[in-house]
Every structure is written in structure tokens, then in C-alpha cells.
Amino acid sequence: MTYCCGILVRDGLVMIADTRTNAGLDNVSTFRKLHVFEEPGRHVLALSTAGNLSISQAVISTLQEGLENPETGAKETLATCSSMFRATQLVGRAVRHVYDLYGTALKEADLRFDVSFLFGGQVNGGRMRLFMIYAAGNFIECTSDTPFLQIGEHKYGKPVLDRSITFDTDLLDALKSGLISMDSTMRSNLGVGMPIDILAARRDAGQAEVNYRIEAGEPYYHDLRERWSAALRAAHTAIPRPPYGR
Amino acid sequence: MTYCCGILVRDGLVMIADTRTNAGLDNVSTFRKLHVFEEPGRHVLALSTAGNLSISQAVISTLQEGLENPETGAKETLATCSSMFRATQLVGRAVRHVYDLYGTALKEADLRFDVSFLFGGQVNGGRMRLFMIYAAGNFIECTSDTPFLQIGEHKYGKPVLDRSITFDTDLLDALKSGLISMDSTMRSNLGVGMPIDILAARRDAGQAEVNYRIEAGEPYYHDLRERWSAALRAAHTAIPRPPYGR
């Protein structure tokens, strides 16, 4: 399994992803699912992946090698795209390129072409944006009404985000909420696990402010988990017992 | 959608179910999903249902009418079963009876025979037990290691239960946890909604201690939701901001 969330607030972008993969229940490994593409001053881009690992890795490699633009014939990479919209279209085209290569064979093996992405960032001082890209290469954009998107095992961690995130939330508070949401998910589903990759990019800063891997036992995250647990226990105790009868 | 949870602690049993049903997205109704069968001094039984409403209602009606025992030929109802195990087997047989009647026709209409139950209680002073019954009529039992079971839209409300429920939790505290878990689910999924039916039965009491419907706007539950939200906000604020860099 996988859990990734992306949060887009007024101040900037937060992206969080776990690293646990499993092929069957008895083959559990660690793979990076949050990929950061950065050229300070030009673009900060973060792409997180869920679904079939062979598909998502092929998409990443395709983006690194570059794809031919069907209209101009020129080779395009994320570094040549002039806007977030163009960059997101390029990711979508890379997904369809990988589908063209492996879709039929996967179907013959009774495997779904199962992949999804969160893709956020800022290009050339344009608007900071966050998208969710589907297996068909189509995508939706995160807006200020619901300023977060999730892929993978998203339900356990959604209540925390529903309650705490608005478009006006401070960037590092949004990161904190994302980390609590990840904690709730990891506690309830063993398929989601440490280490956790995180990115925080402030709007118009031109480069990421946080680009970090939180390893198991890391002191701040350990403390956050303990504090959150203790606070929930205290909140639970402070609520009076139900007065109901028959 | 549906959310039901059953909690079995040392002190007794808690059962909670929402009442929202939908046939498609545009046909939303209220139906009881928590059914209480009580004969004070003899048995307290609670059956909550998820899945296809026509199937779960047919199972309830079959249990009310009674099913012939294939060995003795006698008509059996929940009131004639001598133990929780026998009563659970009877529910399983009622599920298979309904499958025999409608399973083929449902398949022809491309509908899954989708139904599941939580069934808890105490019969004749025997052991208080809680079971999850599947569409095949088979079942698993809740044990003290993980003293709760859930059916329906279970993920949003699981983190709250994972953190707060042990076998030694007080009965009314368990009810409180179940209500918070229901609140988390309702906030994140509009397919789960008020009113909420609840039951709490203390071990060996011979009858239910709480058997109640919480309507929208009911003061205690409104207060619980407000307090829980405020406590989560305060907990979030009290945790220091992440110290991470690049």
C-alpha cells in the first residue's frame, strides 16, 4: 500500500509520502515514492506516486529521458515545460506512453494498469498548483475550497485533514497536519510505513524550504506521535460519559 | 453507505449504527440498521447490517418468521436458540436461505450478494460474545486482543478505536469512543448520517442498559462533537512546528 498527500495553502505546497511497497503480503520493501525535481529559481516540482511500482517507475524514467512533443517534434522534459499546466500534461503523456508500451501485456497477465500521482509545484514564477493525475493521463486540480489531495490508502488520514486544513493554514502547520494524518494511517494500516519523505515549498521562494526524509525513531516525529496520542487520550477523558438510557 | 461498529469489553457490549441508505447517489433515505432482540432475563441480542438493503431486510424477516432446523425439523428463531453460538449459526443459515432465494436472480442482474452483519449479545447467562457474519454465512468472533469489529465504511473511524479501546475500557467510555468514531466517519463521508442507533448491554445484566436513537441536534452528541473538534484543534496547536530543512 501507499499513502501520499499534497496540501496547497496560500503560503505554499506540502507533499508527504510513505515508502512501503508490497508485492503480495510477504514481500515488503522500501521504495521512494516522492520525487523532487528542482532547478532553483526556475522550478520546484514534486511528484508522488501510488499503484503498480513498475508503472510509476517507468513514468519517472520516461520523464527523465524526455518525451517527444507530437506537434513540434522537440524532446520535452519537466525542465523544458514553461508552466505547471504544461508540466502536468507532460506527466499525463508519460503515463499514456507507458500504457502504450505495457498496457496490453498487463491486461493479458490479469493486472490492472493501476497508477495515480500527485504533482505539485511552481514553474517560472507562475502560479503554484497541485494536481492529481489518473491512469488515463487526465487530471484534476486542487483548489482553495478543499486544499488537499490524497492518493493510495487515503481514508484513515482524511478526518485529520478535513478538520485542520484550510487555504489559510500556515505552511509548516500544514506540514504538521500532514504528518499527523500519516501517523493515523500508519497506525491503522501496516501497509503504510516509515521512512516518510516530505517536501515543503514556499510560494515564490524559488526552491524547496523542506526536502527531507524522516527515518524511524527521528526525535521530532517521535515526539509529535506521542503528543498527539496523549492529547487524544486526554480529549477522550475530558468528554463526559453518555447520559443515554433505554 | 453504512457504518456500524461493535465493541466487546470486559464490562459488556456496545453496538452503534448509522441509518443512511442510498440507492445511487440521488436516492438517499433513512433505514434502521441496528436491530435489537430482547427478552429480559433470557437474552439481549443486537444485529447490525451493511450491504444490500433488500438482502439484509430479508434476513431480518427470515429470523422473525423462523427457520426450520435441518436436523430436528423444529422451527427455530433467535428466541429458541440456547447459546450465542447457536444464534449466530442461525443468522448465518438465514443469510444462506436468502441467498438460495435471490442469489441467482441478483447475479443475473449483475448485482453482488453483498451483505455483512455484526451480531452481539448474551443468551441464557452464557458468555457475552460478538461476531461478524459474512455473505457466505460464515463468521468470525471478536476477541480481547482487538475488542471491536466494524462493517461498512470502516476506515475513517478506525484510528479513533485503535487508539482508545482495550478490553478493560469502561462500558460507557467504549460507547463514547464509538460515538467519536461515528463522528469522524460522518464528517468524511456524506454516505453515513444521522440519526444514530446505539445499544449498550452490561454483562450479566439480562437486559440492555442503553437502547436509544440519537437524532440530529441531540444535546449530548452535539456537545461531544464540539468538544472533540476543539480538543483536536488545541492538540494540533500545542505540537511544535516541524524543524526540518533541506
ipTM of the complex: 0.87
Interface of A with B in 163-182 (CB under 8 A): 163-164, 170, 172-173, 175-177, 179-180
Instruction: For residues B34 and B184, give the distance between their C-alpha atoms in angstroms, rounded to a whole number.
Output: 19
Percent of chain B with pLDDT strictly greater than 90: 91
Closest Cα partner for B213 from B11, B39, B3, B18?
B18
Q: B155 and A155: CB-CB below 8 Å?
A: yes
Residue B56's pLDDT band, with cuts at 50, 70 and 90, is very high
Q: Could you read off the pLDDT of B209-242 as tens digits, one per residue?
A: 999 999 999 999 999 999 999 999 999 999 999 9
Q: What is the pLDDT of residue B93?
A: 97
Least Cα distance to A87 among A130, A48, A56, A50 occurs for A130
User: Would you call A212 and B163 a contact, using CB atoms and an 8 Å cutoff?
Assistant: no
pLDDT (mean) for B122-144: 97
Residue A66, pLDDT score: 96
Query: Long-range contacts made by residues B124-128, C-beta under 8 angstroms, separation at least 24?
Result: B124/B42, B124/B43, B124/B82, B124/B83, B125/B204, B126/B83, B126/B84, B127/B84, B128/B8, B128/B12, B128/B13, B128/B84, B128/B201, B128/B203, B128/B204
**Phi, psi for B134 (deg, rounded to 5):** -95, 175
Question: A212 and chain B: CB distance < 8 Å anywhere?
Answer: yes
Note whether B246 contacts A211, CB cutoff 8 Å: yes
Q: Which CATH superfamily is domain A3-217 in?
A: Aminohydrolase, N-terminal nucleophile (Ntn) domain (3.60.20.10)
In chain B, the residue whose alpha carbon lies closest to the alpha carbon of A240 is B224
Residue of A nearest to B180 (CA): A236
Does B109 lie at the interface with A, CB-CB under 8 angstroms?
no
**For position A28, what pLDDT does the model report?**
85
Query: Average of pLDDT values for B160-185?
Result: 96
**Region B52-56 average pLDDT:** 95
Contacts of A229 in chain B (CB under 8 A): 163
Give the A:B interface size as CB pairs under 8 Å: 140
- Write down the pLDDT at residue B26: 79
CA distance B6 to B58: 22
Cβ contact B128:B87 at 8 Å: no
Would you write out chain A's pLDDT as a tens digit for each of its 246 residues? 899 999 999 999 999 999 998 877 778 899 999 999 999 999 999 999 999 999 999 999 999 999 998 888 999 999 999 999 999 999 999 999 999 999 999 999 999 999 999 999 999 999 999 999 999 999 999 999 999 999 999 999 999 999 999 999 999 999 999 999 999 999 999 899 999 999 999 999 999 999 999 999 999 999 999 999 999 999 999 999 999 987
Place of cell 447467562: B125
Average pLDDT, stretch B171-178?
A: 98
How many Å apart are CA A239 and CA B232, to the nearest integer? 12
Beta carbons of B227 and A238 less than 8 Å apart: yes
Q: Which of A160, A173, A244 sits opposite B210 (nearest CB)?
A: A244
Q: How far is CA B123 from CA A60, A78, B44, in A?
A: 60, 67, 7
Task: Spell out which residues of chain B touch residue A156, defining contact as CB-CB under 8 Å.
Answer: 155-156, 158-159
At the topology level, CATH places domain B3-218 in Glutamine Phosphoribosylpyrophosphate, subunit 1, domain 1 (3.60.20)
CB contact under 8 A, A242 and B220: yes
